[in-house]
Structure 1
């Protein structure tokens, strides 16, 4: 499938006529009909109900029209941004982040950076730490916020802060009213782990902390998203180990209990390319250090 197939299909669907669509696209009608047939053959479904009176979209055709409009609209935005960057009218600055950092200083950092320079577009990408390193080296992002330490000769990494970890438990749980919980006691609880993939990630960090303390908790469920993990805790499937800042969610069906172990902490780490000397990056790093402090 090529992009022109989608453009041609959209024109036919919107005009309700091959003739009018061909005029709009400035091509002859027979080649347009062939392109739509090729698209249907490649997808293996009929997109149009052809009759002598009018063209109608099939259910599959309506779905493709709706989804392809979103796709081509996003592509148009990317093309226009690329042109602006190529003309040096604006610069793109990409930030990658793990979801749990959004409960700390990172949202305020993003807000300030988005208003710091009218010639810089700040883009955001949710991704775990390991994909951040690959995205940095590929130039897809310029700054990453994660929680796992990896060594890479092309990437500079700084620990901005170290955050205590807490146990998230259902509100009616026996631990919910406790001021703290030992690792030994916590390890006896069924554990909801996140994120499930890609590995290694924060879940491996949590399991490593348990192993270092001499315990192996029973993992009963893995979730890809932090919010999903907290929802599963609220549903009574088990407990989860989360950064202390997650308490800002203020869920009424989950309690957070301090883990009585100095080792149960999680760093917030900023990553960037070692060869990136841009002034905007320096500004972002200084602001991140200020807000983290």
Structure 2
């Protein structure tokens, strides 16, 4: 797969037409563009676009792939900027941290705001688990991070962003995977895969939910990462509970299903070190409300199983 394939796909998705994308955006012939899209779909292994009477529409897989394609190109742009920055050692830098998978949702608007506030700043991404992000903030290695409200975070402040519902992660052939939603009482008989080591705040939310609903969690394992938890779900036939955003990074052997009834949620916050005197950080924090309002959030709907690669950490 080449970068041009991603650029071509994004152009077609945004234009909603092969003809318009070929003529207006890419300045190439439509037959050539169609071949490039077919090559991309063969490489990915799923159909990404559907031809309709009114133009081109994204498939469910195409919508997921579009987010990741945009992220990949943004990361390439950042890498190029960082490389060019080595020729300008005095150029200011700013480090922003994300939970793996959250950058797909939040990076685009974050970069827009940062570049409006400081057009010449060199932005670096740091992708870590929530406890690791908190530790890096305390050490001054990261300027700002989107993470959980961790405990034992001396010197850090947090700004609330959004509440994320939890979903049940099940093997794709599990009996409960056939349902549109999962009732909490149906989980009582199932083995539970914990992700406490990777996401202690998530563990607290799950424990509180289980106590409230009267669900005895039959824990059989504690995964070191969330992707490891999904692998254990697939191999043991058990289940786990994860924030909704991870549906963009499910391994092929599992599916996500919404919980029925009173759905537990986990807060996503923006964290920073109170001793950080960066003027750009202060201006960025002033635009948090704008960041939230302009960042599309995943809808709490899982009519189609979302699959893909990744290594999310709640």
> What is the distance in 2 between the residues matched to 1:91 and 1:187?
53
Is 1:210 equivalent to 2:210 in the alignment? yes
> What is the distance in 2 between the residues matched to 1:101 and 1:195?
19
1:244 to 1:136, Cα distance in 2 relative to 1, 3 A? same
1:245 to 1:133, Cα distance in 2 relative to 1, 3 A? closer
Q: Which has the larger radius of gyration?
A: 1
Assess if the C-alpha contact under 8 Å between 1:109 and 1:287 holds in 2. no
> What is the distance in 1 between the residues matched to 2:146 and 2:172?
31
Displacement of 1:173: 0.9
2:146 alignment counterpart: 145
1:184 alignment counterpart: 185
> What is the distance in 2 between the residues matched to 1:110 and 1:223?
31
What CA deviation, in whole Å up to 9, does each residue of 1:224-280 have, x standing for no partner?
222232233233441121111222236553222111243511111111123445342
Assess if the C-alpha contact under 8 Å between 1:191 and 1:239 holds in 2. yes
Q: Which segments of 5 or more consecutive residues in structure 2 lack a partner in the other structure?
A: 1-81, 294-314
Q: How many residues align?
A: 210
Assess if the C-alpha contact under 8 Å between 1:192 and 1:233 holds in 2. yes
> What is the distance in 2 between the residues matched to 1:176 and 1:254?
9
SS of the residue corresponding to residue 140 of structure 1 reads: coil
Displacement of 1:217: 0.8
> What is the distance in 1 between the residues matched to 2:175 and 2:234?
14
SS of the residue corresponding to residue 130 of structure 1 reads: helix
> What is the distance in 2 between the residues matched to 1:139 and 1:157?
15
> What is the distance in 2 between the residues matched to 1:107 and 1:225?
22
1:258 alignment counterpart: 258
SS of the residue corresponding to residue 175 of structure 1 reads: helix
> What is the distance in 2 between the residues matched to 1:200 and 1:249?
20
1:152 to 1:172, Cα distance in 2 relative to 1, 3 A? closer
Q: Which segments of 5 or more consecutive residues in structure 1 lack a partner in the other structure?
A: 1-76
Assess if the C-alpha contact under 8 Å between 1:94 and 1:124 holds in 2. yes
1:153 to 1:251, Cα distance in 2 relative to 1, 3 A? closer
> What is the distance in 2 between the residues matched to 1:182 and 1:149?
29
> What is the distance in 2 between the residues matched to 1:210 and 1:98?
25
Displacement of 1:169: 0.9
2:194 alignment counterpart: 193
SS of the residue corresponding to residue 181 of structure 1 reads: coil
User: 1:257-276, aligned counterparts within 5 Å?
Assistant: 257-276=257-276
Superposition RMSD on alpha carbons, in Å?
3.2
> What is the distance in 2 between the residues matched to 1:131 and 1:268?
15
Assess if the C-alpha contact under 8 Å between 1:90 and 1:121 holds in 2. yes
2:98 alignment counterpart: 97
User: 1:1-293, aligned counterparts within 5 Å?
Assistant: 84=89, 89-103=90-104, 105-109=105-109, 111-112=111-112, 115-116=115-116, 117-150=118-151, 152=153, 154-194=155-195, 196-197=197-198, 200-249=200-249, 252-286=252-286, 288-293=288-293
The TM-score normalised by the length of structure 2 is: 0.56
> What is the distance in 2 between the residues matched to 1:249 and 1:107?
16
